Chain A
Amino acid sequence: DAGVIQSPRHEVTEMGQEVTLRCKPISGHDYLFWYRQTMMRGLELLIYFNNNVPIDDSGMPEDRFSAKMPNASFSTLKIQPSEPRDSAVYFCASSSSGTSGSYEQYFGPGTRLTVT
């Protein structure tokens, strides 16, 4: 398996522009998580899905952020309009509620977003 795939790996945009980050989870995984990492706040959860349904979006900073999971193999995180304080590394992770019981999360390589 190729692991969790995120695109783009790097994104530089100007303040006010719309940004869309993409994630393809590991095939067969039914949980998908979006995390954000900054120097000030570390790694923090934004939102997570189970079977394509959002379970907890309390970490989404404000209405400028939205996330969707239209099917089991694709999710997007959109920021509109973007602001300089949104600059961070955004990670997607997936996991399975299968029989192993470890609930291990597999992380993608991240998208480094810079908003100027």
Chain B
Amino acid sequence: DAKTTQPPSMDCAEGRAANLPCNHSTISGNEYVYWYRQIHSQGPQYIIHGLKNNETNEMASLIITEDRKSSTLILPHATLRDTAVYYCIVRVDWGNTPLVFGKGTRLSVIA
């Protein structure tokens, strides 16, 4: 079973920051937080991951609370192409384990 809780849907105006929350209150010390997204009719795409520090890459930023029980994915300037289902996944750090997907958040970016 998925170990994360996400809102089912969110809207965001184009050009604004999209902040997608995720609760993972039972996360263990050796588990990372991963984010993937799935654009309609495509396979899931990796976005970013982190353990306890905030992370940033060319796609997004990941903010993890100090107690690690929740995190927020930030898309700084959302575009229409960011419309997708976003999945927050917790995963042990010791190797190539399968991904356990929950229901995710359907983000709609509106012009």
On A, residues with C-beta under 8 Å from B are: 4, 31, 33, 35, 42-45, 48, 50, 56, 91, 93, 95-97, 102-110
On B, residues with C-beta under 8 Å from A are: 41-46, 49, 87, 91, 95-103
- Chain A residues near B98: list those with CB within 8 A: 33, 45, 48, 56
Q: How far is the CB of B13 from chain A (nearest CB, A)?
A: 28
Q: Is the CB of A97 within 8 A of B43?
A: no
Q: Is the CB of B95 within 8 A of A103?
A: yes
Q: Is the CB of A42 within 8 A of B46?
A: no
Q: Is the CB of B99 within 8 A of A45?
A: yes
- Chain B residues near A109: list those with CB within 8 A: 42-43
Query: How long is the Cα–Cα vector from A69 to B33 in the complex, in angstroms?
Result: 30
Q: Is the CB of A105 within 8 A of B46?
A: yes
Q: Is the CB of A97 within 8 A of B99?
A: no
Closest to A45 in B: B98
- Chain B residues near A97: list those with CB within 8 A: 95-96
Query: How long is the Cα–Cα vector from A45 to B96 in the complex, in angstroms?
Result: 13
